[in-house]
């Protein structure tokens, strides 16, 4: 049987070899955390099944310090996942499973994409929250079908990033006792030893957040790590941080405890010296059979899952409806009557013909849909009374003893933390999280939105107070460039609906997505209801459609959000003056761009001049209006004044649109 030393050194060797072959990567962290990984994955309580990485009750493992990705790839390979030695040899190469940082969907066993530091631990908070709330909803006496831990490795960089402060504070407040994090306290970052820029009392800080903290242990002593794990598991009302003192690049004679081993290959000579120093007498990518046998978790994983399957069979026999709902939600399936629910809601909303703010229309959509979707888990960043993410069945999430009750999360003023926690909740399964803040503060959350799009997960991001329509709060709060830049994120659907019906359809479309996150952008001010035919309502789902038409149009007015109504009114005036104008509503440019060319051409006919109207920066609209067209927009910051005055000041008026249309037609 392989010794502990050999089992840990297998990680070191694979990390050195893969980084060297790629001539790129971070060998130091895997070498420094090898014994911690051995304690958790090899000898400890990490319950997973390499032959079924999606088993519902598996533990979740998050590598927040994702630059050390070879640690996770080595563990996946050694324990029996479908990650071959050839995959390790292809580290950081085109189309490889083993990307430069762990990427969700590329290799089995990767629970989330990490790399931007701090987001992994924040995702982990979302995973742990999802587990706790799912257990509350589904577990029955003697039948705990939801009962697993979230384990997270993190480094100094994660702790320096502000998002980790946001997430850690919430984890303590929520008492997430099944979240256990390991701090790789090696004292090194890219610039060298961290004492010049990272002198926080990290254990004290986490204790102040309400965490259980295991103060510094020897991270190279598996027994010490195992003891710390057992101590952490025994504390069920607090998340735990295990502080592990380690040496980065452990085993390297000349580059250990140095930033030289952080982000660069060790070099052939140093690898040879390291092999000799640690007693690893095997060639590159060569793992002895006894080491493989020591790491193999296929049999143990199958047994763990079989035990749970037996438990779930008892659960299903005793609680068939709950079991069916659990399976539906974990399969990310909508209720069987979803289309009927949407159709009824659209018909009712269209019949009411309300002129209200689209943030209120958004709340109406939630009231229509969420009663049939118990997996919807809402929240806001301290703005519930303004963003209207609560619905008639919402109850605030709060802690009662060691339990969490409620279904609407107050994240506090933590926009970035909220967005990344939602990604973790979405990735865990069983929930569809949505959360909101003002559109201006999407800037704080931006990186988490990008990660949702990168991971192809359908997290729902809600933003209100979408333009100069915010009014008196002024340019610090008036979103001018945010909508345009959100549209630039690949694989992100951005909706800016113009009234109640478009808001409802936008919500339905977003809920139906399985691989695309959605950004739903709503107004503070009331927006005029627009009458539509059934065909026009159906075409809302195409992102852009003809709302008002005229025979042989001479000009096309493209409106979105609060600016659609002024386009409708301008078209009427133009018609009275003998100029035929078509009005196109474009609630989602991203979705419109996915339609076939024939449909796009039917909406925006060639040869007819176009004007786009949106209270924001203009560049994104140039591709729709062309060189001969025009854009009524806002390529500057706003002002502090009532919204109506601002729209007049910046030219969002019927008179201005009519004048511009006439100029184009001439």
In this structure, what are the phi and psi dihedrals at residue 469, rounded to the nearest 5 degrees? Answer: -60, -15
Q: Are 217 and 245 in contact (CB under 8 A)?
A: yes
Read off the pLDDT of each residue in 635-651 and give the average, rounded to a whole number.
94
Question: CA-to-CA distance for 353 and 604, rounded, in angstroms?
Answer: 27
pLDDT at site 384: 96
Percent share of the chain, pLDDT over 90? 99
DSSP E strand boundaries for 145-264? 150-155, 179-185, 188-189, 192-193, 212-218, 240-245
Express each pLDDT in 327-367 by its tens digit: 999 999 999 999 999 999 999 999 999 999 999 999 999 99
| CA-closest candidate to residue 247, choices 258, 238, 239 | 258
Residue 91 reports pLDDT greater than 90:
yes
pLDDT at site 1: 86
Q: Is 473 annotated as a binding residue?
A: yes
pLDDT band at 23 (very low <50, low <70, confident <90, very high): very high
* CATH 3.40.50.970 at 337-527, yes or no: yes
Express each pLDDT in 276-294 by its tens digit: 999 999 999 999 999 999 9
Q: Is 465 annotated as a binding residue?
A: yes
pLDDT at site 580: 98
pLDDT at site 210: 98
Q: Which residues of 188-223 are buried (b: 16+ CB within 10 A; e: fewer)?
A: bbeeeebeeeeeeebbebbbebbbbbbeebebbbbe
Question: CA-to-CA distance for 41 and 47, rounded, in angstroms?
Answer: 8
Q: Are 119 and 64 in contact (CB under 8 A)?
A: yes
Which residues share a beta bridge with 493? 518
Question: Residue 335 carries which DSSP code?
Answer: P
pLDDT at site 334: 98
Q: Is 156 annotated as a binding residue?
A: yes
- Mean pLDDT (the chain) is 97
Q: Specify the CATH architecture of the domain 4-303.
A: 3-Layer(aba) Sandwich (3.40)
Express each pLDDT in 538-551 by its tens digit: 999 999 999 999 99
Helical spans, DSSP H, in 370-499: 384-387, 415-428, 442-455, 482-487
User: Kind of pairing, strands 610-613 and 555-559?
Assistant: parallel
Neighbours of 318 (CB within 10 A): 13
Exposure on the CB side of residue 651, measured as CA atoms within 13 A:
16
pLDDT band at 666 (very low <50, low <70, confident <90, very high): confident
User: Could you write out the DSSP letters of every residue in 7-64?
Assistant: HHHHHHHHHHHHHHHHT-S--HHHHHSHHHHIIIIIIS-----TT-TT-TT--EEEES
Question: Residue 286 carries which DSSP code?
Answer: -
Contacting residues for 576 by C-beta, under 8 A, at least 6 apart: none
Q: Is 524 annotated as a binding residue?
A: yes
**Orientation angle between helical segments 564-576 and 654-665, nearest 10 degrees:** 60
User: Could you write out the DSSP letters of every residue in 32-46?
Assistant: HSHHHHIIIIIIS--
Q: Is 408 annotated as a binding residue?
A: no
Residue 249 reports pLDDT greater than 90:
yes
Read off the pLDDT of each residue in 28-47 and give the average, rounded to a whole number.
97
Read off the pLDDT of each residue in 581-588 and give the average, rounded to a whole number.
98
Express each pLDDT in 472-504 by its tens digit: 999 999 999 999 999 999 999 999 999 999 999
pLDDT band at 53 (very low <50, low <70, confident <90, very high): very high
Residue 412 reports pLDDT greater than 90:
yes
Residue 240 reports pLDDT greater than 90:
yes
Q: Is 477 annotated as a binding residue?
A: yes
Q: How far is CA 66 from the centre of its chain?
A: 16
CATH class of 542-664: alpha beta
Question: CA-to-CA distance for 634 and 184, rounded, in angstroms?
Answer: 48
Roughly how many angstroms between the first and final C-alpha of the chain, as a whole number? 87
Q: CA dihedral defined by 597, 598, 603, 606, rounded to 10 degrees?
A: 80
Q: Is 157 annotated as a binding residue?
A: yes
Q: Are 468 and 483 in contact (CB under 8 A)?
A: no
Q: Are 134 and 376 in contact (CB under 8 A)?
A: no
List the domain boundaries for the chain.
4-303, 337-527, 542-664
Catalytic positions are: 415
Question: CA-to-CA distance for 13 and 27, rounded, in angstroms?
Answer: 9
Common-topology check for domains 4-303 and 542-664: yes
Percent share of the chain, pLDDT over 70? 100
Residue 470 reports pLDDT greater than 90:
no
Kindly report the pTM of this predicted structure: 0.98
């Amino acid at each position: 049987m392989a010794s502990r030393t050999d089992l840990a050194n297998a990680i070191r060797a694979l990390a050195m070899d893969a980084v060297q072959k790629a001539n790129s990567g971070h060998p130091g962290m895997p070498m420094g955390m090898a014994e911690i990984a051995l304690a958790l994955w090899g000898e400890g309580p990490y319950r997973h099944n390499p032959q079924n990485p999606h088993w519902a009750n598996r533990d979740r493992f998050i590598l927040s310090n994702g630059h050390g990705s070879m640690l996770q790839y080595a563990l996946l390979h050694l324990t029996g996942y479908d990650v071959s030695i050839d995959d390790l040899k292809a580290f950081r190469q085109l189309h490889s499973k083993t990307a430069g940082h762990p990427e969700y969907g590329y290799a089995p066993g990767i629970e989330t994409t990490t790399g931007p530091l701090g987001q992994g631990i924040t995702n982990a908070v979302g995973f742990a929250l999802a587990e706790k709330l799912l257990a509350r909803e589904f577990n029955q006496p003697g039948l705990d079908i939801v009962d697993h831990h979230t384990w997270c490795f993190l480094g100094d960089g994660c702790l320096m990033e502000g998002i980790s402060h946001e997430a850690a504070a919430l984890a303590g407040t929520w008492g997430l006792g099944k979240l256990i994090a390991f701090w790789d306290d090696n004292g090194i970052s890219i610039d060298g030893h961290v004492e010049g820029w990272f002198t926080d009392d990290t254990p004290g800080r986490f204790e102040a957040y309400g965490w259980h903290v295991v103060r510094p242990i020897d991270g190279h002593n598996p027994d010490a790590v195992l003891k710390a794990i057992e101590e952490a598991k025994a504390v069920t009302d607090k998340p735990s941080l295990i502080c592990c003192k380690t040496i980065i690049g452990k085993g390297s004679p000349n580059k250990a405890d140095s930033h030289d081993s952080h982000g660069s290959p060790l070099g052939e000579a140093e690898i040879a010296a390291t092999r000799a120093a640690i007693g690893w007498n095997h060639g590159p990518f060569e793992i002895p059979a006894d080491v493989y046998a020591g790491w193999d978790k296929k049999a143990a994983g199958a047994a763990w899952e079989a035990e749970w399957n037996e438990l779930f069979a008892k659960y299903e026999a005793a609680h068939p409806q709950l079991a069916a709902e659990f399976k539906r939600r974990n399969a990310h399936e909508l209720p069987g009557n979803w289309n009927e629910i949407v159709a009824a809601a659209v018909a009712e909303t269209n019949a009411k013909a309300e002129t209200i703010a689209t943030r209120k229309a958004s709340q109406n959509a939630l009231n229509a849909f969420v009663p049939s979707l118990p997996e919807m888990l809402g929240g806001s960043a301290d703005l519930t009374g303004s963003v209207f993410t609560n619905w008639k069945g919402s109850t605030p999430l709060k802690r009662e003893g060691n339990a969490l009750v409620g279904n609407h999360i107050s994240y506090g003023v933590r926009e970035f933390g909220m967005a990344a926690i939602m990604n973790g909740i979405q990735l865990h399964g069983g929930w569809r999280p949505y959360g909101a803040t003002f559109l201006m503060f999407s800037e704080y959350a931006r990186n988490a939105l990008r990660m949702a799009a990168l991971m192809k997960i359908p997290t729902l991001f809600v933003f209100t107070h979408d333009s100069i329509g915010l009014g008196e709060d002024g340019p610090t709060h008036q979103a001018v460039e945010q909508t345009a830049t959100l549209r630039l994120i690949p694989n992100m659907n951005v909706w800016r609906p113009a009234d109640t019906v478009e808001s409802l359809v936008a919500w339905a479309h977003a809920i139906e997505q399985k691989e695309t996150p959605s950004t739903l952008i709503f107004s503070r001010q009331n927006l005029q209801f627009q009458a539509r035919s059934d065909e026009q309502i159906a075409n809302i789902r195409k992102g852009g459609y003809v709302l008002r038409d005229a025979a042989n149009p001479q000009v096309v007015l493209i409106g979105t959000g609060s600016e659609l109504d002024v386009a409708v009114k301008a078209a009427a005036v133009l018609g009275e003056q003998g100029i035929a104008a078509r009005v196109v509503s474009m609630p989602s440019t991203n979705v419109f761009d996915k339609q076939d060319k024939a449909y796009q051409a039917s909406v925006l006919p060639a040869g007819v001049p176009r004007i786009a109207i949106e209270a924001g920066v203009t560049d994104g609209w140039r591709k729709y209006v062309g060189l001969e067209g025009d854009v009524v927009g806002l390529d500057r910051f706003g002002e502090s004044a009532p919204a109506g005055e601002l729209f007049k000041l910046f030219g969002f008026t019927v008179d201005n649109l009519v004048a511009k249309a006439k100029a184009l037609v001439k």
